[in-house]
């Protein structure tokens, strides 16, 4: 699929913060978003090395699933070297470039993109899912394994699959702790762009019939790791030929 160039990329923290402030107003969290998306894509990135600095090899993966059958219909990958350090709240500047490369290798255009990480539930209300949505123009939502910004009332979250509790931060609803499997830790869903929270949660739940994480992210996670391993193997192979 075609993906516009994200523009001048921040070189330091100050520039990154400024860009988030400039793009934040462009994210649409009202939706309603795709009611019945046919193609949903999961995105993830795997890291080599300690995973926090720059110059480390990374592999991104995008896996498109057909919601009717939950079957994988297309996969795409990309590898790169990290150009931005890991800084909580500035996650997108580390992962977005290689994720966009993977998306460019995609033939089809997904109806919804599900990211590994947060969207609105971010200290400045502009997590990776929001940034990815604004850049691609596609509906996006974030599915994180741990909370970031916002808290929920523990007693408000039922133990059964499907129950959820809104994440509140300074009185603002920024996302939802969603139980995708009974008796299992919840995932943290937040809107990224062109979708509302209820719709995002409904899709995440539908994509997670067996496990805690939606099939999209599970497939993307596995593919990104395999791609990284292959890249590392290839470089080791190159070394051997010298």
Q: Which of residues 134-173 bind DNA (CB under 7 A)?
A: 142, 144-146, 148
CA distance 213 to 224: 16
Considering the complex, what minimum distance in angstroms separates the CB of residue 118 from DNA?
4
Alpha-carbon gap, residue 170 to 183, rounded angstroms: 29
Interface residue with DNA among 40, 64, 65, 90 (CB under 7 A) is 90
Taking the CA atoms of 192, 193, 195 and 196 in sequence, report the sign of the dihedral they define. positive
Q: Residue 80 and residue 40: Cα distance in Å, rounded?
A: 24
Instruction: State yes or no: residue 88 binds DNA (CB under 7 A).
Output: yes
Which one, 9 or 66, has the nearer CB to DNA?
9
CA distances from 138 to 54, 89, 101, 182 (A): 29, 22, 15, 31
Subset of residues 178 to 237 that bind DNA, contact rule: CB under 7 A? 225, 228
Between the two ends of the chain, the Cα-to-Cα distance in Å is 37
Among residues 29, 44, 165, 178, the one that binds DNA under rule CB under 7 A: 44
Identify which range of 2-10, 70-78, 87-95, 162-170 contacts DNA by CB under 7 A. Answer: 87-95
Q: Which residue shows structure tokens 């299992």?
A: 184
6 forms part of the interface with DNA (CB under 7 A): no
Residues 99-138: x/- map of binding to DNA (CB under 7 A)? -----------------xxx---x----xxx---------
Tell me how far apart the alpha carbons of residues 125 and 24 are, in angstroms, rounded to a whole number.
Answer: 7
- In 3D space, the residue among 183, 146, 139 whose CA is nearest the CA of residue 161 turns out to be 183
Q: Backbone phi, then psi, for 182, in 5-degree steps?
A: -60, 130
In angstroms, give the least distance from the CB of 144 to DNA. Answer: 4
Tell me the binding residues: 44, 116
Map the footprint of DNA across residues 49-68, applying CB under 7 A.
50-52
Stretch that binds DNA, among 47-55, 61-69, 153-161, 198-206 (CB under 7 A): 47-55
Residue numbering of the annotated binding site for Mg(2+): 44, 116
- Answer left, alpha or beta for residue 41, where phi above 0 means left and psi between -120 and 50 means alpha: beta
In the chain, which residue ranges form alpha helices assigned H by DSSP? 13-23, 92-104, 128-136, 197-206, 215-240
Closest approach of DNA to the CB of residue 110, in Å: 19
The yes or no reply on residue 86 touching DNA (CB under 7 A) is yes
Nearest distance from residue 46's CB to DNA, in Å?
4
Q: Which residues bind DNA (CB under 7 A)?
A: 44-48, 50-52, 86, 88-92, 116-118, 122, 127-129, 142, 144-146, 148, 225, 228
């Amino acid at each position: 699929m075609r993906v516009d160039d994200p523009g001048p990329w921040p070189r330091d923290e100050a520039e990154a913060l400024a860009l988030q402030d400039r793009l934040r107003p462009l994210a649409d969290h009202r939706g309603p978003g795709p009611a019945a998306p046919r193609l949903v894509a999961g995105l993830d990135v795997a890291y080599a090395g300690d995973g926090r600095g720059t110059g480390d090899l990374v592999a991104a993966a995008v896996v498109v699933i057909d919601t009717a059958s939950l079957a994988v219909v297309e996969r795409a990958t990309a590898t790169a070297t990290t150009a931005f350090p890991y800084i909580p709240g500035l996650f997108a500047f580390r992962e977005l470039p290689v994720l966009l490369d993977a998306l460019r290798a995609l033939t089809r255009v997904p109806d919804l993109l599900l990211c590994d990480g947060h969207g609105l539930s971010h200290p400045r209300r502009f997590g990776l899912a929001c940034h990815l949505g604004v850049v691609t123009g596609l509906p996006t939502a974030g599915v994180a394994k741990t909370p970031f910004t916002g808290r929920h009332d523990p007693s408000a979250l039922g133990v059964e699959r499907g129950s959820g509790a809104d994440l509140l931060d300074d009185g603002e609803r920024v996302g939802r702790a969603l139980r995708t499997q009974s008796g299992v830790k919840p995932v943290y869903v937040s809107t990224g762009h062109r979708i509302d929270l209820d719709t995002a949660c409904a899709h995440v739940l539908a994509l997670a019939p067996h496990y805690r994480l939606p099939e999209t992210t599970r497939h993307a996670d596995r593919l990104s790791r395999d791609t990284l391993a292959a890249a590392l193997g290839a470089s080791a192979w190159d070394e051997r030929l010298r």
